[in-house]
Amino acid sequence: MSQVRLTIVHVQAGKVVRQIVMGLITKRKKELEMNINPDQMDVMTSMLHDDLDAVDICKKLGAFFVASFDTTSSAITFIIKSLAEYPHVYQRVYEEQMEILKAKKEGEPLNWEDVKKMKYTWCTASEVLRLYPPSIGAFREAKTDFSYGGYTIPKGWKIFWNAHTTHKNPKYFLDPKKFDPLRFDGSGPPPYTFVPFGGGPYMCPGKEYARLQILVFMHNIVT
């Protein structure tokens, strides 16, 4: 499919998604006006309570859709690539997942206790997120004057923190270009040196969801 054709498909799909979401927003707004399920609280309802315009809500929800899908699918793609490139890593992930599978009855789904046992698997995923972070970083605003790398950053300036360079800092990651899941074994790297999900109060709210999705996918693909 040509790039132009692909772009047209994306635009058309976007219109369909917006129509569906706008319909859901209108429906939920009427429910709130009629006091139907007033205690039901989700992102859409929260924004309606804040009196946000329906178009703005639709845009924000669209951004959530993209952020939640694009980042996890990118991470999973690089995980599969890395498992193929490092057979010894794949073997350890496979053995860990097979131990979990053998302890379950046929057809029994994974549960939270199973996920907590996937320690080496998550170390592997974390190493992939270190080398290939789905999000390159984000803009922030300096709350006060500060100095960094010999430069003074005035209060109010916009700054951009970069996950790629942070994750490859040899001060915190020995031999940073080497693929080594065991660097995440135990307590792992110091705070704010491994930031695929950001850090502090603005950390990605989907971190645990992404972790669960990635681990369940890895379990199914290797078993």
Domains of the chain: residue spans and CATH:
1-52 (no CATH), 70-222 (1.10.630.10)
Predicted confidence (pLDDT) per residue in 28-73, tens digit: 999 999 999 888 889 899 999 998 899 999 998 888 887 778 889 9
Q: What's the rounded mean pLDDT across residues 169-194?
A: 94
* Nearest-angstrom CA–CA distance, 143 and 187: 30
Does residue 216 contact residue 110 with C-beta atoms inside 8 Å? yes
Q: Is the pLDDT of residue 1 over 60?
A: no
Predicted pLDDT of residue 203: 86
The highest-confidence range among 1-15, 29-43, 120-134, by mean pLDDT, is 120-134
- pLDDT grade for 5, boundaries at 50, 70 and 90: confident
Binding site membership for heme: which residues?
204
183, exposed or middle or buried, with CB in 10 Å at 0-12, 13-18, 19+?
A: buried
The token duo for 91 is 């073997």
Task: Provide the percentage of residues in the chain whose pLDDT is more than 70.
Answer: 98
> What's the whole-number mean pLDDT along residues 188-212?
90
Provide mean pLDDT across the span 151-175.
94
Residues annotated as binding site? 204
Can you give the pLDDT at residue 9? 78
- DSSP bridge pairs for 164: none
**What do you get for the CA distance between the two ends of the chain, in Å?**
33
